[in-house]
Amino acid sequence: MGDQQDQSGIQWLSQLLEHQGLTASVTGKHVDDDLGDGSFWLTIDDGSLTQAQIDGLLGDRGRVLDSIQYLANTVLNIGQDEADQQSYTIELQGYRQQRRDEIKAIAEKAAATAIESGHEQELADLSSAERRQVHSFLKDYGGLETFSRGREPDRRLVVRAAGDTDAPGEDE
């Protein structure tokens, strides 16, 4: 991933905000974390935004921010070879980091419960990106397997003890 892609991400998000009538600077940095996400984080500086503008960009349970992030990943990777594609994470007011911490805690609790009880743990209300994060985080967790069940908008992530063959593996 080159500096050109990094700058393209910053420029794209800055222009999107400008088209929305919002004045905010965007910065970027590469982040590798234990949720398996090596991405370029585009951070929106909220210093010049009102609380209503921030709430509008976040949306209910981060859905607007998720949509902006989906657009960034789609638009900025058009025409790129798969090996050259860049993963982008959009951050605003620490929301992404806070949600990542929540996702990690949810994954750890589900893993511990699945191992202790021997029963599947089904996690609902996760976006597809969040389900991928849980899959990545738990892939090296001993004695567990994860898969997704159902169809959007009611797709759920299942955590269970490895070797339990009662349910089909539908990995994402």
* Residue after which a domain boundary falls, among 93, 109, 144: 93
Band (pLDDT 50/70/90 cuts) for residue 164 is: low
Q: How many domains would you assign to the chain?
A: 2
* Residue after which a domain boundary falls, among 93, 120, 150: 93
Q: Which residue would you say has higher pLDDT here, 18 or 37?
A: 18
Residues 55 and 108 in one domain: no
Q: Are the CB atoms for 121 and 82 separated by under 8 Å?
A: no
Convert the pLDDT of each residue in 114-146 to its tens digit.
999 999 999 988 888 889 889 988 988 888 999
Strand stretches in 74-132, DSSP E: 88-92, 121-123
Residues 68 and 129 in one domain: no
Residues 77 and 142 in one domain: no
Convert the pLDDT of each residue in 28-84 to its tens digit.
999 876 655 678 999 999 999 999 999 999 999 899 999 999 999 999 999 999 988
Distance, CA of 115 to chain centre: 25
CA 88 – CA 38 distance, rounded (Å)? 9
| Domain at 55, CATH number | 3.30.300.20
Question: What pLDDT, on the 0 to 100 scale, is given for residue 171?
Answer: 46
Question: What pLDDT, on the 0 to 100 scale, is given for residue 10?
Answer: 97
Helix (H, G, I), strand (E, B) or coil at 157: strand
Band (pLDDT 50/70/90 cuts) for residue 169 is: very low
Range of the domain at 152: 100-161
* Residue after which a domain boundary falls, among 93, 110, 135: 93
Residues 64 and 119 in one domain: no
Considering the domain boundaries, does residue 167 fall inside one?
no
Residues 70 and 110 in one domain: no
Question: What pLDDT, on the 0 to 100 scale, is given for residue 37?
Answer: 60
CA distance to 10, 24, 63, 147, per residue, from 41 (Å) = 9, 16, 17, 27
Question: What pLDDT, on the 0 to 100 scale, is given for residue 93?
Answer: 96
